[in-house]
Amino acid sequence: MFFYAGKTTFWLYLYVKQNLLVVKNNAFPQFFIDLFPKGRNYMNKTVELVRLWGEYEQRHPEATIEDFCRHQASATLRQEKTVVPEGQMQPDLNGALVRLIGRIAKFHGVYTSKAFQGTALDQIEEFGMLVTIFNQKEPIKSEVIFGNILELSSGTNMLIRLMKRGLISEYADKEDKRVKRLRLTAKGEKTLKRAKQLLLKAVAMLVQDLTDDDKQLCLQLLRPIDARFSAIVQKQKNKTFEEIYAENMP
């Protein structure tokens, strides 16, 4: 219905936007009703769809119509009610979502480690470091470590292991000799390309029960979380949890 009569939809969109997205049946001009050969009921559904699109566009100005459709599809999903057995502790909705994401991440780690056997890589974090070095074109150590959300000490140890395996090398920055930059060796590039193919097989296996539209919807819904905390996680590492909570919660 949203695509019915392009000019009609355009004028409806303008009307709804100018009236703060609030349209009541009795207040809607007869002019717009006459545009719909199927009458007021058909118009009402179209108006509601345009209203929802207007609200969504205000919150997500860069979103596409495809993003909007995926958003609406997710909004209509039936909320599952889980019965908590007496005497057991179960997470709330927020906890259930984060726990599910965490469990999937653990499955990812288990199967990726198996896939990487024989590649000179032991875990997904090592692969992430090689990808960062490859994509950022000889970054400094801290960029690689913090870009993969690792602690400085554990990240440094991981880089040392990668150097011992001959996958990366370091050199002094031309402008500041105290700064060390990293690059992939020929062996490192070969290992990265091989590991990527294995990783693609592992993740394809993990998400095989989802359609491409499902995957796009998941990405759309979860990207704001990634964007928010990617920008602040390193800045907050020396603060207490209560301070972090106060800064993040409205």
Final residue of a structural domain among 22, 41, 75: 75
Q: What is the domain extent for residue 36?
A: 6-75
Does residue 86 fall inside a structural domain? Answer: no
- What digits encode the pLDDT tens for the residues 181-234? 999 999 999 999 999 999 999 999 999 999 998 888 889 889 999 999 988 888
Let me know whether 101 and 57 are in one domain: no
Let me know whether 187 and 111 are in one domain: yes
Let me know whether 54 and 109 are in one domain: no
Let me know whether 71 and 100 are in one domain: no
Q: Residue 178's pLDDT is what?
A: 85
Final residue of a structural domain among 194, 209, 224: 209
- What digits encode the pLDDT tens for the residues 143-167? 999 999 898 899 999 999 999 999 9
Final residue of a structural domain among 75, 103, 125: 75
Does residue 88 fall inside a structural domain? Answer: no
pLDDT class of 45 with cuts at 50, 70, 90:
confident
At residue 96, does pLDDT exceed 70? yes
Structure tokens at 75: 């909004």
**Strand partners for 184:** 168
Q: What three-state secondary structure class fits 164? A: helix
Whole-model pTM?
0.66
Q: Determine how many CB atoms are found less than 10 A away from the CB of residue 214.
A: 14
At residue 76, does pLDDT exceed 80? no
Q: Domain total for the chain?
A: 2
At residue 235, does pLDDT exceed 70? yes
**Strand partners for 183:** 169
For 240, left (φ over 0), alpha (ψ -120 to 50), or beta? beta
Q: How far, in Å, CA of 21 to CA of 53, rounded?
A: 10
Q: Residue 126's pLDDT is what?
A: 94
Let me know whether 136 and 54 are in one domain: no
At residue 3, does pLDDT exceed 50? no
Q: How far, in Å, CA of 244 to CA of 156, rounded?
A: 26
Q: What three-state secondary structure class fits 239? A: coil
Does residue 230 fall inside a structural domain? Answer: no
At residue 63, does pLDDT exceed 60? yes
Let me know whether 119 and 183 are in one domain: yes
